[in-house]
Chains A and B, each alone.
Chain A
Amino acid sequence: MGQLTILGLESSCDDTAAAVVRGVPGDARVLSSVVQGQADLHAAFGGVVPEIAARAHAERLDECVKQALTQANTALSDVDAIAVTAGPGLIGGVLSGVMCAKGLSAGSGKPLIGVNHLAGHALTPRLTDGIAFPYLMLLVSGGHCQFLLVRGHDDFSRLGGTIDDAPGEAFDKTARLLGLPQPGGPSVQAEATRGDPKRFRFPRPLLDRPGCDLSFSGLKTALLRARDELITDKGGLTEQDRADLCASFQAAVVDVLAEKTARALAIYLAESPAQPVLAVAGGVAANTAIRARLETVSAGNGTRFLAPPLALCTDNAAMIAYAGLERFAAGETDDMTLVARPRWPLDNSRPALLGSGKKGAKA
C-alpha cells in the first residue's frame, strides 16, 4: 500500500485542532499538529462552557487547518482524505468540526472520514510507537476514564470504566475547592509533593467490588467534607492542610487506578499476547505519581508500559488524522450525511456505564 496523507480536525471539547499525518497503518508520522486551547475563554466560569467552546471552534477551525497544511508543507489537493471527530463530545463543537470538514471535502473532492474521538486516543500508541494489536489502553482524562482492550482499528472491548466522574474532573474540582489554579491536574500534583498522603484517609471507591469499573464522585465529596471540617475548626486552611489534602486525594486516585489496572491486565494477559503492552492516553496520564505506579504495575506483570508524549496524550488532531488513516486504509469512508454525535460508545456490546437514558450511552 502506498503512503497515505490524511488531514485531521478535532473540536469535541475545548481544544481546536488540525493536523496532517502521513504513512500506513502502524507506521505513520505527524507532519504537523496545531492545537489552539481555550483555557482563557473559560477561566472565569470554573469549567468548560459548551456554548463558549462552540463559538470559538466555529471561527478557529479553518484557521487551524490552514496552519496545519502550511506547517506540513502540503496543499489540500495533496491529501488523500479528511478525517474529523464526529463524537463523542460537546455537540456544538463536534458539529462545527463536522460541517467544516464537509465543506473541505465537498470543495476539494477528497473523501470524508468520521472518527470516534475515543478511537483517536486508543489508536495513538500505533501512531507514536507502531505497536501491534492487541494491547490494553487506559484512557484517563478530564472527560473519560475507561479500560479498552484494543484488538483492531475498529475492534474495542471495554473492560471497565468510570460510573460517574472522570479523574480529570476530580482533579479540577479538588483545585477549585482548595483555591488552586485550573487546570487542576498540574496544580494539585505540585501541592501533593509537599504534602502527607496518609494524613487523610479518603475512600478507595469500588475496590471492594470485582471488575474494572471505577468511581470518583465519592472521593470528591470526601475531600469537600475534610476541607469543611478544617475550615469550621480554624476559619481557613493552612498551606500544610492544603498540601496534605492534595497528597491524600492523589494517593487515593493512584491506588484506585493501580488496582483496577492490575485487574484489567489480568484479563488482557489471559489472551496471551505475544508482546504485552499497557498504553495510557488522556491528560491525567501526565500525572507523575499515577504514571510511576502504573509503570510498577506493568513491570510486575511483565508488560511494557507506554505513555505517548503529552502533546499526543491530550486532545489533538494528529490522533484523529491517524485513526482516519486506519479507517481509510481499511476502505471505510463516510458521505455528506455524516452525523455529529454527542454520545458514541466505542464498545456497543457492553452495557452503558453512563447516560443510559433515552439519549443512549455516553461512553
Chain B
Amino acid sequence: MPSDTCVLGFDTSAAHCAAALLCGEQIIASRAAEMGRGQAEHLFPMLEAVLADGGKSWSDLHAIGVGIGPGNFTGIRISVAAARGLALALGIPARGINSFDATQIDYDDPIVAIVPAPRDQFYARLAGKPGQLVGKAELAEYAQPVLPPPAPGLLARNIARLASQGHGIIPPAPLYIRPADAAPSREAPPVILANDT
C-alpha cells in the first residue's frame, strides 16, 4: 500500500469502545473508553473524534479494519454492521480482524491467544487450529503460554495495523465460535387419524 494510506480500525467486542487511525506506518490518533453499555450510541461519535484528532475525514480512508471477535455477540455485531455500512458508502474494503490475530501480532514465539467467554470459559486458539470454547482447567494444560487481548486502545491499533497489511476477511463477519442458544421445538404434533366413518 502507498505510504499515505489511511486505515480506521475499531472494536466493540467486549465492554469497551475503541478506535485507531493509521496513516502510512503511523498511528496518528486513537481513543478508547470502557463501557458496559451504550456502544451503539458512542461508536460513531468516537470514530468521528478520532478522524478529527488526526485531521482526516471519511473520504481520506482507504480501508476499514473491524474487530470481529470472538466476544460479546451484540458487541461484535455492532461493529461489523457499522463497518459494512461504511464500506458500502465509502466504496472501500472493510476487513474483519479476529481478536486472536490482533492479540498475537507482536509475538513470534508460539502462544495460545485467548479471549474471556461467559461462565468462566475462554475462547482459545491453538497454533494451526480454529478458535474453540474451552474451560478454565484446559488452559492450564497447554504447553505454550496463554495470552489475553491487550487493552482496548492497543487492540484497535493492532486491528488497524493488520488491516493495513491486507489481513482480515472481506466482507467482515462476526466470529461467534459459540452457536446461537436455541433448542428445537419440543412440542410433538398430534397423531392425525382417518375421519370417523
Q: Do A and B come from one complex?
A: yes
Question: Which A residues are closer than 8 A to B by beta carbons?
Answer: 44-47, 49, 51-52, 54-55, 57-59, 61-62, 65-66, 76, 91-92, 95-109, 176-179, 227, 231, 234-240, 242, 336-340
Q: List 10 A-B contacts (CB under 8 A).
A: A54-B77, A58-B77, A76-B88, A96-B77, A99-B78, A176-B187, A178-B189, A236-B190, A236-B192, A237-B191
A107-B77 CB under 8 A given contacts A45-B183, A62-B171 = no
How far, in angstroms, from A121 to B42 measured CA to CA in the complex?
Answer: 29
Mark contacts of B89-107 with chain A using CB atoms, 8 A cut-off: 1 yes-contact digit, 0 otherwise: 1100000000000000000
Bound-state CA distance A107–B61 (Å) is 10
Question: In angstroms, how far is the closest chain A Cβ from the Cβ of B188?
Answer: 9
- In Å, the complex CA distance between A143 and B81 comes to 25
Contact A107–B184 (Cβ < 8 Å): no
11 new A-B contacts at CB < 8 Å, known A46-B187, A106-B86:
A51-B182, A54-B74, A58-B174, A66-B88, A92-B74, A95-B78, A103-B87, A177-B190, A239-B195, A242-B192, A338-B41
By the criterion of a CB under 8 Å from any partner CB, how many residues of chain B are at the interface? 44
Question: Nearest Cβ in chain A — how far from B168, in angstroms?
Answer: 15
**Contact: B84 with A238, CB < 8 Å?**
no
- Cross-chain contact B58 with A100 (CB below 8 angstroms): no
B82 within 8 A of A: yes
Interface on chain B toward A: helix, strand, loop, or mixed SS? helix
Chain-A contact segment, one of B17-25, B44-52, B111-119, B150-158: B44-52
Contact between A62 and B88 (Cβ–Cβ < 8 Å)?
yes
Listed in ascending order, the chain B residues whose CB lies under 8 Å from chain A are: 40-45, 47-48, 58, 73-74, 77-90, 171, 173-174, 176, 180-185, 187, 189-196
Smallest CB–CB gap between A8 and chain B, Å? 14
State A237–B191 Cα separation when bound (angstroms): 6
Please determine whether A178 and B190 come into contact, CB atoms closer than 8 angstroms. yes
Check B45 against A100 for contact (C-beta < 8 Å).
Answer: no
Say whether A45 contacts B185, CB under 8 Å. Answer: yes
Structural contact, B86 and A238, CB atoms closer than 8 A? no
How far is it, in angstroms, between the C-alpha of A223 and the C-alpha of B40 when the chains are bound? 43
User: Are the C-beta atoms of B85 and A101 separated by less than 8 Å?
Assistant: yes
Contact B180 A339 (CB under 8 A): no
- Shortest Cβ gap from A13 to chain B (Å): 16
| Contact residue among B47, B190, B195 (Cβ-Cβ distance under 8 Å from A106) | B47
Pick the residue among B81, B85, B190 that contacts A179 (CB under 8 A).
B190
Residues on B with C-beta less than 8 A from A227 are 190
**A176 CA to B185 CA in the complex, in Å?**
10
